[in-house]
Amino acid sequence: MQTEGFLHHDRNVPETPAQQDRARIKETILRELPHADRLLLVLWHAEEMSPEEISVVLSTPECEVVATHERIISQLNAALAPARASA
């Protein structure tokens, strides 16, 4: 499963209006996530922690961290699919 591209945002690259729309949609979706899901994404992507490290911080089995991450990314990608199709 590809997850790297979902949260990656290069602020040095000028954005087209369609890219700006997708970024606003993504930000809205991320704000609406439950706290635990946002925390997992921040630890994984922003803090670049490994699933093993996250499992220690969250006192959760590593396999559950990975499964939860995959679920969140799948849901977010599905929610963004209409915006991607209209680009």
Whether 84 is covered by a domain: the verdict is yes
CB 40 within 8 A of CB 66: no
Listing DSSP states for 7-31 in one string gives H---TTSPPPHHHHHHHHHHHHHHH
40 is a domain residue: yes
Which structural domain, as residue segments, surrounds residue 60? Answer: 34-87
Summary mean pLDDT of the chain: 83
Domains held by the chain: number: 1
Mean pLDDT of 44-63: 96
DSSP-derived letter for residue 48 is -
3 pLDDT above the threshold of 80: no
Asked whether residue 2 is domain-assigned, the answer is no
14-46 residue pLDDT tens:
578 877 877 887 888 888 899 999 999 999 988
How far is it, in rounded angstroms, from Cα 18 to Cα 80? 12
- Does residue 54 have a pLDDT over 50? yes
